[in-house]
Structures are given as structure tokens and as C-alpha cells.
């Protein structure tokens, strides 16, 4: 069966503290919808906006909430340097969760990217997903470099958020030709159906805090080889994307949080990664209309 992971938001109270009740509501709802796992402290989770203590508390609380479920917890160790990512790895290692997720930092050093990834893979006490997202950090890898990291036994999978159809197919062929077991997960919300139909193992993408039900439905349609239904559901997913994020992506973080507030799941739409002023009255109305239009596939 295709895997479905959510790259989740981080719910906050009005004073910027972690909304633990909201976190529980979101994660338990995701489990109810059948998600295989949740990724915290990624780009959607505003990893760069929080203190070390805040992030550790988020890991602790998330692990406790999911401990009684079969859902996996994936924890981001992103930082502004390799050394700081290694510190995050060590700090979080005391908690019970399934995998780390590592994205190379933006060009803050001249370190070799492959050596950096291998350093994380060697140091990790549990499996690691590599988060490939050149639009975020400006770092791309060629196929020879992917071959090197995929050969490492501690690499569990790749979250491919490159928006690159060529790379998607080449990674499938590389894995097949070399006999690797690396999970290949689509990281872009608007392309999950075609990626899984082509041979990807699933998705790990944003909007999952809100739209976990439709994400799982897309995967199940692909499992059943009902490709027209998968495409129809994907188009609905994209319309949700437009309604919540905005077609110009003007409310990526705050829009999803506002939608979760309107569903009674979290307390505030506060985000530290985006200007709150982007959540205009017009955008609020559009998000509320989107929720009304697609209520049946949200819960």
C-alpha cells in the first residue's frame, strides 16, 4: 500500500507557546483518517522560528500523543549548519519516534553536500529521510550523488520536493537498477497522484494537517488502480490548496492554521514564518468558503 505522511504545521497559542491541545487534536484526527505518519519541524512546521527548548518540547509532546497509535513520527533536525543538525539529532535521540528528517542547510558553508548527508546517516541512531528541496536551500544533487546516499543502509527514504518530473523518474529507475530499498515520497501537494502512479511509494507533503482524509483517499485509489478516481481526488486536493494557501501562495502557513481554527482543532492561526497581515478579511472569507465547499472530504 502507498504511504501517506503529513508535513505538519506547529499550532501555537496567542503568546507563542505550543498549543498542546491543538497538537493532540490535529494528530489524533490524522490517525483517524489513516495517515501512516506525521513529520514535524519541517518547512511547514516553521522549524527555523523556534528555540531549541520549544522544539524539544514539541518532539516530546508529539511522541507522547502518537505513542499509543501505529502512526510513525518523523522529526526534522534541520538547522543552519551541519554541526547544529547533529546537535538536534543528539538532543532528540532520548525520545521514542521512528525517523529523523534531514535537509541540507542553505549555503552557509563550503561543506560537501553528500559528505554532510552521510555524516548524518552515520551518526543517526534510527532511520533517516533525506528532504530534497532545492527551492528551499538552493542545493541540488546529481544522480551519482543520489546513488551514493541511497546505498547507505540508514537512509529510509527521500522526500522529493524538487518539482522536477525528470528527477522523479530517474530516481525510480536508479532504485530499480541498483536494487535499493529507499522509499520515494512525493513532496509536492499538486503532484501526488502522478508520482504514485509512476511508481513512488507515497507522499510526504504539506496540507496534511488539514487534508489528511483526501490524501489517504488518493493513495487508496492508486492502490486499487482506479487512476481516474485518483486524478479526480488530486484535482480536489489542488482546489483545497488554492482555497487555503491562495493561488499565489500568499497564506501558506497562516491559511492552513486559520482553516484548522475554523474547524475547532487549534486555538489560533498564529504563525512566526509569515506576516499575519496576509490573512486579510478577503482571504478569511475565501478559506471559509473553501471549507464549506469541501466539508465532506475534510472529515
Neighbouring CB atoms inside 10 A of 191's CB total 20
How distant, in Å, are the alpha carbons of 5, 35, 64 from that of 73?
Answer: 9, 11, 10
Q: Which CATH architecture has domain 3-226?
A: Alpha-Beta Barrel (3.20)
Average pLDDT over residues 105-128: 94
Instruction: Enter the pTM of the model.
Output: 0.96
- Burial letters 144-173, b for 16+ CB under 10 A, else e: eebbebbebebbbbbbbbbeeeebbeebbe
Distance CA(41)–CA(56), nearest Å, equals 10
Distance CA 219, CA 221 (A): 5
- The pLDDT value recorded for residue 110 is 84
Contact 212, 240 (CB under 8 A): no
C-alpha cell at 104: 541540507
Position 108 scores a pLDDT of 77
**Looking at residue 31, what is its pLDDT?**
98
What's the pLDDT at 29? 98
User: Over the chain, what is the mean pLDDT?
Assistant: 97
Which helix (H) or strand (E) segment holds residue 167: the answer is helix 165-178
- Give yes or no for a contact between 100 and 74, defined as CB atoms under 8 angstroms apart: yes
Tens-place pLDDT, residues 271-287? 999 999 999 999 999 99
Q: What is the per-residue pLDDT for 10?
A: 98
Which H or E element spans position 90? helix 82-92
Is residue 232's pLDDT more than 90?
Answer: yes
For residues 131-158, average pLDDT? 96
pLDDT in tens, 58-67: 999 999 999 9
Q: Is 88 helix (H, G, I), strand (E, B) or coil?
A: helix
Domain parsing of the chain, residue ranges = 3-226
Question: What pLDDT score does 136 carry?
Answer: 87
Amino acid at each position: 500500500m502507498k504511504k501517506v505522511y503529513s508535513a505538519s504545521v506547529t499550532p501555537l497559542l496567542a503568546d507563542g507557546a505550543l498549543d498542546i491541545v491543538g497538537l493532540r487534536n490535529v494528530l489524533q484526527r490524522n490517525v483517524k483518517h489513516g495517515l501512516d505518519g506525521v513529520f514535524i519541524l519541517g518547512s511547514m512546521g516553521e522549524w527555523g522560528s523556534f528555540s531549541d527548548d520549544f522544539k524539544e518540547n514539541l518532539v516530546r509532546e508529539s511522541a507522547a500523543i502518537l505513542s499509543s497509535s501505529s502512526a510513525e513520527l518523523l522529526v526534522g533536525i534541520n538547522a543552519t549548519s551541519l554541526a547544529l543538525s547533529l546537535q538536534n539529532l543528539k538532543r532528540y535521540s532520548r525520545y521514542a519516534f521512528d525517523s529523523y528528517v534531514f535537509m541540507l542547510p542553505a549555503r552557509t558553508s563550503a561543506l560537501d553536500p553528500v559528505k554532510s548527508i552521510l555524516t548524518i546517516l552515520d551518526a543517526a541512531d534510527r532511520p533517516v529521510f533525506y528532504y530534497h528541496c532545492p527551492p528551499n536551500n538552493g542545493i541540488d544533487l546529481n544522480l551519482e550523488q543520489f546513488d551514493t546516499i541511497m546505498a547507505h543502509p540508514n537512509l529510509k527514504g527521500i522526500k522529493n520536493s524538487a518539482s522536477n518530473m525528470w528527477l522523479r523518474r530517474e530516481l525510480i529507475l536508479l532504485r530499480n537498477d541498483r536494487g535499493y530499498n529507499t522509499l520515494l515520497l512525493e513532496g509536492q501537494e499538486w503532484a501526488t497522484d502522478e508520482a504514485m502512479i509512476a511508481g513512488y511509494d507515497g507522499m510526504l507533503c504539506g496540507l496534511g494537517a488539514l487534508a489528511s482524509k483526501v490524501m489517504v483517499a488518493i493513495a487508496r485509489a492508486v492502490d486499487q488502480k482506479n487512476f481516474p478516481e485518483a486524478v479526480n481526488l488530486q484535482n480536489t486536493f489542488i482546489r483545497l490548496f488554492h482555497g487555503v494557501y491562495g493561488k499565489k501562495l500568499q497564506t501558506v502557513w497562516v491559511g492552513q492554521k486559520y482553516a484548522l481554527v475554523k474547524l475547532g482543532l487549534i486555538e489560533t492561526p498564529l504563525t512566526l514564518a509569515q506576516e499575519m497581515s496576509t490573512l486579510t478579511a478577503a482571504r478569511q472569507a475565501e478559506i471559509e468558503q473553501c471549507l464549506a465547499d469541501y466539508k465532506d472530504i475534510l472529515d
